[in-house]
A and B are shown apart, each in its own frame.
Chain A
Amino acid sequence: MTVAIELTPFFLPGTAGRLFAVHLRPAAVPAPGEAVLLVPPLHEEMNKSRPMLAAQARRFASLGLSVLMLDPYGTGDSEGEFGEASLEQWIQDLAAGSRWLRETGAQVVHLWAARAGALLLAPLLAIETHPGAVLTLWQPVLTGKQLVTQWLRLRIASETGRERGESSESLRRQLEDEGRLEIGGYELSARLVAALEPCRLDAALAADWRGIAWFDVAASPLPASERALAPLRTRGMPLVYEALPGEPFWGTPEIARLPELLEATSRSFAQLRDGGAP
């Protein structure tokens, strides 16, 4: 069944600058009662993931939901530079997106986080609760420490990094001394690194969700994900976990698509929202 989707790009006024946003909803439903807010990946992974995120947003809309994708301050097509961005600002921006969805008719705002977006969930929930929400996770980054390691590695693995024999240690010193570091064409501020590093997904998993759907792109379930899910199983949280083999689209040289992930995400979301046994 094909549902006509209305897609509206617009700028949402943020507290630091205008935020580029795309809103999707079923054309026949002007004010859906339920919505999904995307908490996007960061850095280059945001760009690489866009086609998959856009495809999933359409699918959520065809399930009858209002869907908002926004680029937090200093990322994507929003105002500001990555080097000026702060965690607090990003959280304010996402909270503004969530409030916008409520103001336009949603009683429930579900959350959907991809990759490093998962680390922003706990600070977001601290300022804006999301009662009755289903949480959808796409290969979440589990800890801020992992994210920072990954960013530093981007530099270490680059030609410059290899020529200079850089290490996490030398880069951290540089970050401390100069307050910033260039990584893959982005300026990274010491302040952002310090704020992101202590963030953890498990702090958000401990919240009260209607259900959690978690997908990894891997040939078999990842042990680290299973460990993070164990306390949720004990709590009896409605849960879907699936490892799907395929190309890790957030980091591949060419844009990749994984239709199986879209199928599984929509199916699991509908099950968890409607309270059926997954």
Chain B
Amino acid sequence: MNPVLELSELRAGYGTGDILKGVSLYVERGKIVTIIGPNGSGKSTLLKTLIGLVPVREGDILLNGQSIRAFGATRRVRAGLAYVPQEYNVFANMTVLENLQISHEFAARKGHRPAGNVLSDELRELFPELAGKLATRAGNLSGGQRQMLAFACALSVRPDLLILDEPSAGLSPKYMADIFKSVERVNKTGVSVLMVEQNAVEALAISDQCIVMANGRVRLDATARQVEQMDLHELYLGPLAEQAA
């Protein structure tokens, strides 16, 4: 087994307490893993810790077998991570083109692509709507288009692991379906995906593995198919709620 990501006993948090209370999990290369769980379980914090926005207190993060715990965010991106935050995930005062250019320039320095089109054919295919809006200020895009742009920028750097924080949040059903389709297509090109989602049903449908978090810990780590069989309501409101209390 060659996991692209491995976490061991990760503890992290803001302020005085720990939000992540010892998280251990791994993401197999080329798979899509979805994290679900009640609010406040630390899902978002986990992603922020992975990308380097929240400091690690204990434990380790291994990307492609290499410890990235001591890396700053920029170095982690260079090492093969890409992160799409839930909110404020585009540079609102810059145009779509400029947003893409920033990621493109980073990728060029990383050595992943020769000087080519900022909006490559691949990206153009995945996100056709962006092609016509290159000169639009990112803040003026609709929610769904912003999400597309954020996604495109993350993909631009050719990550090994794409980390998504609630990619479908606040999107209309059409865009939601589009996003999940895009995640699938991207995954088929070899990019591993780790995402946090509230729209569990749609997310699990495209996932390979599912991790359930509550209270800063992993409560369940099973295949997506197995979790789909479970009654999610019971999962959230029943045993997990008791454990969380």
Are A and B physically bound partners? no
Name B residues whose Cβ lies closer than 8 Å to a Cβ of A: none
Name A residues whose Cβ lies closer than 8 Å to a Cβ of B: none
